[in-house]
Amino acid sequence: METAGTTQNNKDQEAGLFLASFIEFNTKERVENMPELPEVENVRNGLKQLIVGKRITGARVLWPNIIKDPSVTEFKQRIEGQEIKDIRRRGKFLLFVLSRDVLISHLRMEGKYRLEGPEVPLTKHTHVIFELDSKEELRYLDVRKFGKMSLVEKADLDEHPSMRSLGPEPTDDTLETIYLIKALKKTERPVKACLLDQKIVAGIGNIYADEILYDAYIHPERKGKELNEDEIKRLRDSIISIMNRAVEKGGTTIRTYANAYGAEGSYQECLAVYGRTEEVCPRCQHTIRKIKVGQRGTHYCPQCQKAGRE
């Protein structure tokens, strides 16, 4: 793992953009930042100020598996010369709107972008480099190499496999109660798994799924079909309010490198259960527990979130 203070390149990191993040809660539990919707939104805002209007003069791909489609050769050829017109977001996907194409970028667990001068040495986790006409480089770093990029024509964006099956954004305008009732009422899956399913709602990851269920007083293992309409209504409200609040706070970042735009988030101060295993529930003083639900680490309060009714 990288550390913030290693003297030599510390200055460089602070000078460039490092919308990044490692989360360190306490000595018991350390979790790396997995960018969910609020974190991606934060990255989007930072990048927007820094690179919109600049032109990509070339691309270097050091780890080919990051590029999902088209082929690496075509990817590099096509992106060259295109101007960055806008940066958008859909779910957890970052969308670089270019002159002709859209670059779809998913950070997965640890992907991050840095804007640096070419003289700044590459780290071993740098996998893709976009050279800009401003003489800077937009660099993609990813310790796990899990992130993916696709380049598609604008007209084909909605039909791209990554976009096509995404559910609605978790906002008041787009996530309807009726829709959520329909989606949950027909499934045996635990509600936690449903929240993580991007086809049902886009943008929720492991941190906010736990926070949402806590906020809604719903046990993560309850099956979708056994939730009543009032509970699903409550769940919908929690989805929207938690995600809105997290976006306002700039997402969750426990420890971050400084950057010129102060893009680190502060939602970690609001986390009630995530990363707080064996701590005291802020509502009822019961002990927060960690279990596994659908292969995922899950934090909840056994007192506030009963497995039975409520």
Partner DNA sequence: CAAGAGGCCTGTTAGC
Partner DNA sequence: TGCTAACAGGCCTCTT
Tokens found for residue 128: 């893709």
296 binds DNA (CB under 7 A): yes
Range in contact with DNA (rule: CB under 7 A) among 81-89, 159-167, 233-241, 255-263: 159-167
Q: Is 36 a catalytic residue?
A: yes
CA-to-CA distance for 167 and 153, rounded, in angstroms? 22
The candidate with the shortest Cα–Cα distance to 207, out of 196, 199, 216, 198, is 196
When binding is defined by CB under 7 A, the residue of 44, 60, 100, 108 that contacts DNA is 108
Extract long-range pairs of 181-186: CB within 8 Å, 24+ residues apart.
181/229, 181/232, 183/224, 184/224, 184/225, 184/227, 184/232, 184/235, 185/224, 185/225, 185/227, 185/232, 186/224, 186/225
Binding mask 68-107 for DNA (x = CB under 7 A): -----------------------xx-------------x-
CB 294 within 8 A of CB 190: yes
The candidate with the shortest Cα–Cα distance to 263, out of 10, 97, 77, 16, is 16
Say which of 29, 296, 302, 310 is annotated catalytic. Answer: 296
When binding is defined by CB under 7 A, the residue of 10, 12, 122, 146 that contacts DNA is 146
CA-to-CA distance for 37 and 91, rounded, in angstroms? 6
Please report the sign of the dihedral spanned by the C-alpha atoms of residue 280, residue 286, residue 287, residue 288: negative
CA-to-CA distance for 228 and 213, rounded, in angstroms? 15
The candidate with the shortest Cα–Cα distance to 49, out of 246, 263, 247, 250, is 263
Say which of 76, 90, 92, 236 is annotated catalytic. Answer: 92
CA-to-CA distance for 200 and 93, rounded, in angstroms? 16
CB of 154 to DNA, least distance (A): 18
CB of 86 to DNA, least distance (A): 21
Range in contact with DNA (rule: CB under 7 A) among 27-35, 78-86, 171-179, 300-308: 27-35
286 is in an annotated binding site: no
Q: Is 92 a catalytic residue?
A: yes
CB of 170 to DNA, least distance (A): 13
DSSP 267: G
Binding mask 241-270 for DNA (x = CB under 7 A): ------------------------------
299 is in an annotated binding site: no
Crossing angle of the two packed helices 229-248 and 206-215, in degrees rounded to 10: 130
The footprint of DNA on this chain (CB under 7 A) covers a number of residues equal to 31
Say which of 35, 38, 170, 220 is annotated catalytic. Answer: 35
Range in contact with DNA (rule: CB under 7 A) among 50-58, 212-220, 233-241, 287-295: 287-295
CB 183 within 8 A of CB 227: no
Map the footprint of DNA across residues 166-225, applying CB under 7 A: 187-189, 193, 196, 198, 205-206
Which residue ranges are tagged as binding site for DNA? 125, 144
Catalytic residues: 35-36, 92, 296
Q: Which residues bind DNA (CB under 7 A)?
A: 1, 30-31, 34, 65, 91-92, 106, 108-109, 143-146, 148, 161-162, 165, 187-189, 193, 196, 198, 205-206, 292, 294-297
